Amino acid sequence: MAVFRFSGAWCPAALLGLLLAGCTSAPDFTPKPRGYNRIDLPAHAYQQLAPGHPYTFEYSRYAKVLRDSSYLAQPHWINVYYPQLKASVQLTYADLKGNPQRYTRLLEDARKLTSKHEIKASAIDEKVLETPFGMRVAVFELQGEVPSQFQFYTTDSTRHFFRGALYFRTATANDSLAPVIEYVKQDVVHLLNTLQYR
């Protein structure tokens, strides 16, 4: 305990004043609920994919179509990239050429690529949807801290095999990204609903 002296004598009044000042009640404190960054998302608007691919669809006006630059990329592999959201929908395409073995291999690859996320996924919901053009699409919604939250493939089993996966290039937790994930998923559903082969 500190001792205070005033002109060589004890000063009990000063000591008592310090003790009383230290004993005042703490201000009321209420913890704030967990918050997330505010994300302003524009209204959905779409444009047609430029010619040059064996498929066509409508994609977001706020995205850019970029050629896939990976060393495995094939001619009609593209990325629908959202610069402001740091999101990318990676799209791959294969011509099956009527080869049943090629179809089986691509189908297995699509399922393996989704199942790789099982380690981190808290759930994987699989649905089969039908587009307005009569295509059946297998859709996988992944929950938890996974790098890809939405994947899909569609095929006619004889000629076309089209696959996609949504990725974010950010370390932000998926619960914070939830509004952005839902926004891009809506764009992907629109892409699938307008997908046609040339």
- Domains along the sequence of the chain with CATH: 46-197 (3.40.1000.10)
Question: pLDDT tens, 137-193?
Answer: 999 988 887 878 899 999 999 999 999 999 988 665 666 788 999 999 999 999 999
CA–CA distance, 186 with 60 (Å, rounded to integer): 10
Which run of H or of E encompasses 132? none
How much is the mean pLDDT over the chain?
Answer: 85
pLDDT of residue 28: 67
Regarding pTM above 0.85, the answer is no
Rounded Cα distance, 149 and 111, in Å: 14
Angstrom CA distances, 49 to 7, 18, 59, 60, 78, stand at 89, 75, 7, 10, 11
Q: What distances in angstroms separate CA 150 from CA 54, 63, 79, 102, one per listed residue?
A: 23, 17, 14, 24
Does the pLDDT value for residue 98 go beyond 80? yes
